[in-house]
């Protein structure tokens, strides 16, 4: 479509939403980095084909839309910064922020000046912006790579905390450049900036405290909490931005941090809504930024820009991180992973665009090069880390298993038998229980176990959730099973959450809404049915299926077996119906079999669980 024939704003917004969310869905289906697909899609519909040009189709709304989106994204990031969640990562985060950020600023500025060829003023400003590592990029990458908890927490905290710090560092450098060029009083300019930053921080703290107070005292009805919160975020951001540009990022991050650490009863619901809103906003902003790029501007980047990007990724980032974490006590593999993971995202491009205009306005002409350099750095880091973070994490032993592991809530005989059988088949298993004694058989069988409530905050810090893709609530308490399945469904995905059949489940009087609980597993067998079978000598067995021993032959030799699941190329799948499993050669059937069927049979060796 030629550039002259533009889209209406309505069509442009619809197209951005469709392509952004569509890219995320396609990335999930194809197991590809979502950020890479969004960038490619934006470039395709924008500078490559001219189907959509944001400046033409949306006009002056582009800049404020991106600013507001970034504000909401950073606020949601602040909501994830629960101080209790730091635990053993706290020291590393402090080092990354207090030592790594200033050192990264210095090394980035030196790279910009000596390699990219920018003047000292532009280098100092852009070097400050490059402190930002991009929560808009980190979140999707962590979701895809399934990192171990501590490095994931450190990368997430660094990205969110350093975003406003990077903007403030760039603001400080710009004020110095402005003073230098306009012969202003340095002390007065810096004092004024300090006062404005302090005011922005006070606004964020006060807004967060006001929301907490209003929600705790029931001054806001439940159905209005999310709208009130959303409006409060926008108001706080705009108020801070009115005082001084770029201090709004500090305001909303601090506001989210205050709310996150206030123990609000409705906090989880608020955070989940904000997470969903953030996915939409990240999608839209990436499409907008990529579509708004000019190919001529990008084509003007020479080998100096390429060399600068290489030095930032392979030298400046690793050096600053390794120096900051030296002597921290962190294992070497975690330090290396963090050192070579520094993707940049939306905030870098947005803030670079703002300061590029300001630098040019005060007479620093090479400030115009900030935007193409920023976009090139974003593309390079997003593509690189999008494809390499998961393999690098696996190589360093810091990623979840390829096969989705199973977390079993409830330390019964059945849970132990199932765990032993699956562990022998190569499936990671964790058994949890609130009663220490009930975990005895799991401990004796050598199964990984967690003593405590899996819903507790302690479990968030003490359990490596990334190793487990499936959840089975299998305690004797049907209500607790339903609570566990419901609460952890957003974490695992509803399609991956299961529980044992509840007593009276078929009765309309006891039926629950579809939004509560997990899928029933075990062909209609409840806890006490399975426990009775275990007492009678039944065993959990994993049986290989082959050409010589198909499913029909397995069923003939195991007529009373209770099918629990199957193991195929995609790992473990739990069964939720009573139909015969449809699997071919190479797959395995996980089932409970009676004592008379427990001996060896045709089709290969069985892997038995402990009774």
Q: Average pLDDT of 258-266? A: 81
> What's phi and psi for 328, nearest 5 deg?
-80, -15
- Sign, CA dihedral 585-587-591-594, equals positive
- Sign, CA dihedral 291-296-299-305, equals negative
If asked whether residues 434 and 520 sit together in one domain, one would say yes
* 398-445 confidence digits (pLDDT tens): 876 556 789 999 999 999 999 999 999 988 899 999 999 999 999 999
139: left (phi over 0), alpha (psi -120 to 50) or beta: alpha
Say if strands 571-574 and 562-568 run parallel, antiparallel, or are unpaired.
Answer: antiparallel
Q: Nearest 5°: CA angle at 274, between 271 and 279?
A: 130
pLDDT at residue 15, as a whole number: 92
If asked whether residues 333 and 440 sit together in one domain, one would say no
Helices 346-361 and 135-145: crossing angle in degrees, nearest 10, is 160
Flag whether 177 is in a domain: yes
CB 159 within 8 A of CB 136: no
Between CA 479 and CA 403 the distance in angstroms is: 29
Q: Which residues contact 36 (CB under 8 A, 6 or more apart)?
A: 27, 382, 383, 386, 387
CATH number, position 420: 3.40.50.720
pLDDT at residue 194, as a whole number: 81
Does 452 score more than 50 pLDDT?
A: yes
- Neighbouring-strand partners of residue 571: 568
Flag whether 5 is in a domain: no
Q: Average pLDDT of 8-34? A: 85
Helices 527-535 and 413-424: crossing angle in degrees, nearest 10, is 80
Count of beta carbons in the 10 Å neighbourhood of residue 201: 17
If asked whether residues 362 and 261 sit together in one domain, one would say yes
Nearest to 453, CA basis, from 469, 470, 477: 477
Stronger pLDDT, 429 or 132, i.e. the higher one: 429
pTM of the complete model:
0.68
Between CA 515 and CA 521 the distance in angstroms is: 17
Between CA 15 and CA 561 the distance in angstroms is: 52
If asked whether residues 226 and 352 sit together in one domain, one would say yes
Strand ranges (E), 30-80: none
DSSP for 131-154, written as a single string:
T---HHHHHHHHHHHTB-HHHHHH
Say if strands 562-568 and 588-593 run parallel, antiparallel, or are unpaired.
Answer: antiparallel
Q: How far is CA 58 from CA 54, 55, 317, in A?
A: 5, 6, 36
pLDDT at residue 1, as a whole number: 42
Task: Give the range of the structural domain holding residue 424, as residue numbers without chain letter.
Answer: 405-608
Does 4 score more than 70 pLDDT?
A: no
Q: Among 371, 395, 419, give the residue marking a domain's end.
A: 395
If asked whether residues 193 and 305 sit together in one domain, one would say yes
Q: How far is CA 238 from CA 181, 241, 249, 598, in A?
A: 29, 5, 10, 69
* 512-566 confidence digits (pLDDT tens): 666 677 888 877 788 888 889 999 999 999 999 998 888 888 888 888 888 898 8
If asked whether residues 200 and 251 sit together in one domain, one would say yes
If asked whether residues 365 and 436 sit together in one domain, one would say no
SS3 label, residue 569? coil
Between CA 454 and CA 385 the distance in angstroms is: 32
Average pLDDT in the chain: 82
Does 601 score more than 50 pLDDT?
A: no
Strand ranges (E), 232-288: none
Q: Average pLDDT of 358-367? A: 83
pLDDT at residue 507, as a whole number: 62
Flag whether 33 is in a domain: no
If asked whether residues 373 and 268 sit together in one domain, one would say yes
Instruction: Choose the most confident range, by mean pLDDT, from 130-144, 166-180, 483-497.
Output: 483-497
Q: Which residues contact 157 (CB under 8 A, 6 or more apart)?
A: 81, 86, 89, 93, 96, 97
Q: Average pLDDT of 196-201? A: 87
Q: Which residues contact 275 (CB under 8 A, 6 or more apart)?
A: 76
Does 255 score more than 60 pLDDT?
A: yes
Flag whether 431 is in a domain: yes
Does 602 score more than 50 pLDDT?
A: no
Flag whether 20 is in a domain: no
Flag whether 411 is in a domain: yes
R_g of the chain computed on alpha carbons: 27
Does 258 score more than 80 pLDDT?
A: yes
Flag whether 17 is in a domain: no
If asked whether residues 355 and 428 sit together in one domain, one would say no
SS3 label, residue 58? coil
Q: Average pLDDT of 502-520? A: 70
Round to the nearest angstrom and report the end-to-end CA distance of the chain: 68
Q: Average pLDDT of 359-381? A: 85
Lowest mean pLDDT among 474-478, 497-501, 519-523: 519-523
Q: Which residues contact 414 (CB under 8 A, 6 or more apart)?
A: 474, 527, 530, 531, 534, 540, 592
Q: Average pLDDT of 489-493? A: 80
pLDDT at residue 317, as a whole number: 93
DSSP for 484-519, written as a single string:
HHHHHHHHH-GGGEEEEEPTTTTSTTT---TTSS-E
CATH number, position 152: 1.20.1530.20
If asked whether residues 369 and 411 sit together in one domain, one would say no
DSSP for 371-421, written as a single string:
HHHHHHHHHHHHHHHHHHHHHHHHHTT-B--SSPEEEEES--HHHHHHHHH
* Total count of domains within the chain: 2
Give the dihedral of Cα atoms 358, 113, 342, 254; nearest 10 deg. -40
If asked whether residues 423 and 540 sit together in one domain, one would say yes
Between CA 415 and CA 412 the distance in angstroms is: 5
Between CA 571 and CA 584 the distance in angstroms is: 14
pLDDT at residue 273, as a whole number: 65
Nearest to 472, CA basis, from 423, 432, 528: 432
* 146-190 confidence digits (pLDDT tens): 777 788 888 888 887 877 787 778 877 887 777 776 655 666 667
Flag whether 130 is in a domain: yes
Q: Among 349, 370, 395, give the residue marking a domain's end.
A: 395
Please report where in the chains the tokens 């194809």 appear, as a residue. Answer: 30
pLDDT at residue 466, as a whole number: 65
Q: How confident is the model at residue 461 (pLDDT cuts 50, 70, 90)?
A: low
Q: Among 372, 395, 418, give the residue marking a domain's end.
A: 395
Token pair recorded at residue 17: 């939403």
If asked whether residues 159 and 179 sit together in one domain, one would say yes
pLDDT at residue 390, as a whole number: 84
Between CA 58 and CA 42 the distance in angstroms is: 15
Please report where in the chains the tokens 């009775």 appear, as a residue. Answer: 532
CB 410 within 8 A of CB 474: yes
Does 319 score more than 90 pLDDT?
A: yes
Q: Average pLDDT of 474-484? A: 90
Nearest to 246, CA basis, from 71, 473, 478: 71
Between CA 478 and CA 455 the distance in angstroms is: 15
Give the dihedral of Cα atoms 318, 324, 326, 330; nearest 10 deg. -90
- Neighbouring-strand partners of residue 588: 544, 567
């Amino acid at each position: 479509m030629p550039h002259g024939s533009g889209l209406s704003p309505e069509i442009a917004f619809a197209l951005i939403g469709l392509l952004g969310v569509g890219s995320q869905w396609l990335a999930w289906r194809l197991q590809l980095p979502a950020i890479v697909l969004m960038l490619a899609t934006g470039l395709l519909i924008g500078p490559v084909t001219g189907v959509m040009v944001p400046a033409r189709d949306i006009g002056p709304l582009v800049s404020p839309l991106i600013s507001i989106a970034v504000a909401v994204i950073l606020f949601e990031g602040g909501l994830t910064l629960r101080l209790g969640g730091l635990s053993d990562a706290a020291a590393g985060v402090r080092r990354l922020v207090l030592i790594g950020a200033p050192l990264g600023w210095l090394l980035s500025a030196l790279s910009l000046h000596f390699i990219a060829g920018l003047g000292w003023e532009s280098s100092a400003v852009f070097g400050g912006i490059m402190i930002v590592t991009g929560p808009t990029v980190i979140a999707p990458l962590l979701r895809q790579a399934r990192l171990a908890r501590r490095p994931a927490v450190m990368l997430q905290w660094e990205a969110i905390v350093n975003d406003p710090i990077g903007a403030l560092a760039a603001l400080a450098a710009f004020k110095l450049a402005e003073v230098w060029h306009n012969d202003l009083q340095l002390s007065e300019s810096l004092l004024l900036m300090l006062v404005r930053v302090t005011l922005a921080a006070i606004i964020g703290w006060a807004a967060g405290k006001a929301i907490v107070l209003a929600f705790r005292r029931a001054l806001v009805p439940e159905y209005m909490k999310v709208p009130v919160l959303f409006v409060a975020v926008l108001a706080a951001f705009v108020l801070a931005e009115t005082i001084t540009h770029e201090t709004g990022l500090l305001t909303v991050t601090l506001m989210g941090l205050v709310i996150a650490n206030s123990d609000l009863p409705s906090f989880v619901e608020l955070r989940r809504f904000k997470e969903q809103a953030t996915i939409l906003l990240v999608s839209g902003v990436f499409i907008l930024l990529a579509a708004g790029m000019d190919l001529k501007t990008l084509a003007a980047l020479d080998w100096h820009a390429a060399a600068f990007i290489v030095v930032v990724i392979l030298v400046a980032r690793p050096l600053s991180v390794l120096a900051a974490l030296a002597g921290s006590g962190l294992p070497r593999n975690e330090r290396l992973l963090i050192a070579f993971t520094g993707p940049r995202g939306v905030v870098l491009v947005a803030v670079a665009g703002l300061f590029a205009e300001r630098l040019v306005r005060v007479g620093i002409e090479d400030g115009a090069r900030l935007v193409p350099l920023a976009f090139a750095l974003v593309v390079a880091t997003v593509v690189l880390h999008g494809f390499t973070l998961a393999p690098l994490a696996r190589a360093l032993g810091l990623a979840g298993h390829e096969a989705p592991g199973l977390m079993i809530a409830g330390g019964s005989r059945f849970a132990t038998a199932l765990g032993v059988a699956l562990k022998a088949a190569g499936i990671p298993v964790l058994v949890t229980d609130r009663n220490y004694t009930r975990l005895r058989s799991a401990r004796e069988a050598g199964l990984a176990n967690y003593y405590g409530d899996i819903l507790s905050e302690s479990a968030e810090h003490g359990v490596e959730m990334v190793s487990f893709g499936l959840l089975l609530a299998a305690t004797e308490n049907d209500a607790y099973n339903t609570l566990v399945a419901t609460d952890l469904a957003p974490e695992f995905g509803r399609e991956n959450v299961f529980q044992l059949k509840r007593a009276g489940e078929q009765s309309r009087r006891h039926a629950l809404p579809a939004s509560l609980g997990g899928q029933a597993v075990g062909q209609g067998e409840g806890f006490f049915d399975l426990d009775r079978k275990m007492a009678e000598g039944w065993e959990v067995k994993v049986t290989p299926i082959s050409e010589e021993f198909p499913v029909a032959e397995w069923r003939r030799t195991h007529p009373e077996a209770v099918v629990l699941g199957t193991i195929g190329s995609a790992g473990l799948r739990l069964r939720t119906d009573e139909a015969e499993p449809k699997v071919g050669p190479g797959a395995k059937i996980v089932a409970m079999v009676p004592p008379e069927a427990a001996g060896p049979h045709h089709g290969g060796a069985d892997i038995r669980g402990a009774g």
